[in-house]
Structure formats: structure tokens, C-alpha cells
Amino acid sequence: MSRFIFTWGILILIWIGFTGTLNSMELLMGTAISFVIAIYAHRTFTHKGLGFFSPKSVAYIVKYLLVFLVELVKSNIDVALRVLNPKMPINPEIVEFKTSLTSEMGRLILANTITLTPGTLTVDVIDDTYYIHWLNSETTNPEKAAQAIAGKFEPILKEIFE
């Protein structure tokens, strides 16, 4: 029950954030819609229940967001330079590597993080194996590819989700 209430509360806060108002009709509608969504989604969003937002988890979430932001900026600059300078090498490859993450949510977030970072695209995930389209592949060695693409994200995701 705590997972459901937690999920419902988070969804109401998200609703308020998106609407930007505390109008009673908006809150009523948001509460009702959030209730319906929480019925179907509470297990997915809160695998740790209320313990998900422990101080340790929050610290690692902040760390993850900062690392992601830095990597996002670096990869945007890299892709922009490759587009603007045709002499820069492009070596597209589909690389495959295994993750050590066991949590489904951790794997999902890793796949989406890879896709959101310019120059890489998650093509498929089968169990613990990722197939990534890499704009400028540095290696096809699975261990080196895993380190180059996901190495900064995986340890932090382990701390958050496992």
C-alpha cells in the first residue's frame, strides 16, 4: 500500500509541476488522473517503496544527473564538430556489451541514457546485453565498448537501483 500512496503522491506533484497552478479544479483532475495511473504503475515506479528516496539514493541521483549532464554536453560538442568538419572521422558500428546491472529499472535508465547522449543509440537490449549504434566507434571489443559508453553511468545506477 505504501508503494501505491508514494506513487500517487509523486504523480500529483508532477501534475502540479506541469500545470503550474493550485486551482481546485486542476488539483481535483490531477488527483483523479494520478490515482488511475498509480493503480497501474506503482510497482514499476517504486521498486524500493518509500526507501527509494533515502539520503544515499538522493545523493546518487544528483550525482547521476550531474555526470549525465557533463557527458551530454561533451557528446553534443563532439557530434557538432563532426557535422561541421567533414574531415573528422566517423566510424559507425553496432557494438554489443553486457551490463552488470540486474535491476530492470536500472537497465532501462541506462538504455535511455545511452540513447539520449548524442552519437550513441540503443538499438536493442536482450537480457543483460546491449546493442548500441555508435557514431564513431573507438572499439568493437565488448569490455572496452562497455567502459567507453556506459562506464560512467553503471556504477552510479547500481548504487541507486540495486
| 88-124 tens-digit pLDDT | 889 899 999 999 999 888 899 999 999 999 999 999 9
Percent of the chain with pLDDT over 90: 48
Confidence of residue 161 (pLDDT cuts 50, 70, 90): confident
Q: For residue 45, what pLDDT is reported?
A: 53
Mean pLDDT value of segment 3-17: 84
pLDDT on residue 132: 94
Are residues 62 and 159 in contact, defined by beta-carbon separation less than 8 angstroms? no
- pTM attached to this predicted model: 0.71
- 50-66 per-position pLDDT tens digit: 555 667 878 898 999 99
Share of the chain above pLDDT 70, in %: 91
Give the pLDDT confidence score for residue 79 in this predicted structure: 93
CA dihedral 59, 73, 103, 58 (to 10 degrees): 10
CB 16 within 8 A of CB 27: yes
Apex CA 53: angle with CA 51 and CA 54, to 5°?
70
